[in-house]
Amino acid sequence: MRTSKSTLYWWCQLGGWLFYGLTMVFFAFIFENRTNYIFYPRLAITILSGLVFTHLLRELIVKMELRPPIQVQKWWLMTITVLSIIVLYSLTNSAIVEWSGLYDPARKVSVEKRFLSNVIFDSPMILVWVSIYYIWHYVELGTKSEIQKVRLESLVKELELKTIKSHINPHFIFNALNSIRALVDENPNRARTAITELSNILRSSMQAEKLETVPFEKELNIVKDYLALEHIRFEDRLQVEYEIDEDTLDQPVPPMMLQTLVENAIKHGIGKQKDGGLIKVISDYRDDHHELIIRNTGKLDNNTSNDGFGINSTRNRLKLLFGGKANFEIRDIGNNMVEATVKMPVQHVYS
């Protein structure tokens, strides 16, 4: 990579100064100065010394760490360096011209004036070179920063989604296994069904690692399996209701998100009620959004509304997948009921 950048630099150097030389020749022909015998040697001196001094300037910029982005306190050093190169460049050109006699003897101009003329006419070329050099590096720096930013955002998104998707409450698994064990002798058929329900949940969680969204119908089936397992533990203390618009079943939703919210409602709501309570899952369209609502018996506390894993993971996933187009809120709605609402943009699904 370093060799390729060095090669590109030299090609730009040679190409740039050659282009300058050809431009000067073109103007010489336009103004009919081609018969001037000192024009071409002086142009060659200008180009060769330009190559040498701009390369020297580049080396100084690198050694003095004046490449973009330049610290504010180093701008004066950059200015002095460029001015010094301009003076040395002009002085060298003047000395070579004086030594080789490549000037018009008919024009009686002092060495000092010729040097001043060189400074005036040569400095714009150095300043153009510096401008191109810094524009190039600022564009390159901006491009690298943009690429790194995209890569970082992509990595953060991937890691966050993997962390969120891989979360299964171990207490739920232990409780489910204990419930199944109690059913083995009492109700073998229900125990077999419970094992299937638990298997479905675990399989879905493992597949969620590979998917960003799943059809709502699939997510709803997992929630039904989850609530069926919890019903074994809570028995009559847990009532479940569903109000589902069938047209929403094919809408894509983040995998395990609904299950996480329902689990949150069981843990912080039903589990804290002596007489248990109600879990109601609603899915409908509203204002060009797919609206999911989970209502549960209970009251909000600070941990539930701010720091709970289910709440934070839901907010993070919606932000990562839909940006500002999705919304999540959880609130008390009175009568000892809590409502969690997820609004996602409607996705047009074609079968």
Match 């989850």 to its residue by tokens: 226
- Can you read off the two tokens belonging to residue 207? 């597949």
- What are the domain boundaries of the chain? 2-158, 166-345
Check pLDDT > 70 for residue 304: no
The closest of 135, 161, 139, 84 to 317, measured between CA atoms, is: 161
Report whether 103 contacts 113 (CB < 8 A). Answer: no
Q: Which CA distances in Å does 209 have to 190, 215, 256, 340?
A: 30, 15, 10, 24
Three-state DSSP string of 222-243: HHHHHHHHHHHHHHHHEEEEEE
Q: Which residue has the tokens 């064990």?
A: 181
Euclidean distance between CA atoms 74 and 93, whole angstroms: 29
Tokens of residue 154, six digits: 């992509």
CB neighbours of 324 closer than 8 A, spacing ≥ 6? Answer: none
Strands in 277-286's sheet, in edge-to-edge order, are: 238-244, 277-286, 289-297, 337-345, 327-334
Residue-level pLDDT at 173: 76
Q: What is the mean pLDDT of residues 90-104?
A: 69
Alpha helices in the chain (DSSP H): 2-30, 39-63, 75-100, 111-165, 170-186, 188-208, 216-234, 257-268, 302, 309-322
Q: Spell out the long-range contacts of 193-201 with Cβ–Cβ below 8 A and sequence spacing 24 or more.
A: 193/228, 194/228, 194/229, 194/232, 197/225, 197/226, 197/228, 197/229, 198/173, 198/225, 198/229, 200/225, 201/168, 201/225, 201/226, 201/229, 201/259
pLDDT digits (tens, 9 = 90+) for 114-163: 667 767 776 788 888 888 888 887 787 777 766 766 665 665 566 555 55
**159 vs 320, more confident:** 320
Q: Are 295 and 341 in contact (CB under 8 A)?
A: no
Whether a cis peptide bond, with omega within 30° of 0, leads into 170 is no
More confident of the two residues 264 and 67: 264
Residues 163-178 pLDDT 10s = 555 555 566 677 778 8
Q: Higher pLDDT residue, 306 or 62?
A: 62
Q: Give the fold, CATH level 3, of 166-345.
A: Heat Shock Protein 90 (3.30.565)
pLDDT in tens, 12-71: 888 888 888 888 888 777 766 555 667 778 778 888 888 888 888 888 888 887 777 666
pLDDT given at position 114: 65
Q: What is the pLDDT at residue 272?
A: 87
Structure tokens at 224: 């039904």
Span of 6-15, 287-296, 327-336 with lowest mean pLDDT:
6-15
For residue 238, what are the β-bridge partners?
277
Q: Is 349 helix (H, G, I), strand (E, B) or coil?
A: coil
Tokens describing residue 69: 């982005």
User: What percentage of the chain exceeds 70 in pLDDT?
Assistant: 76
Q: By C-alpha distance, which of 191, 256, 185, 186 is closest to 226?
A: 256
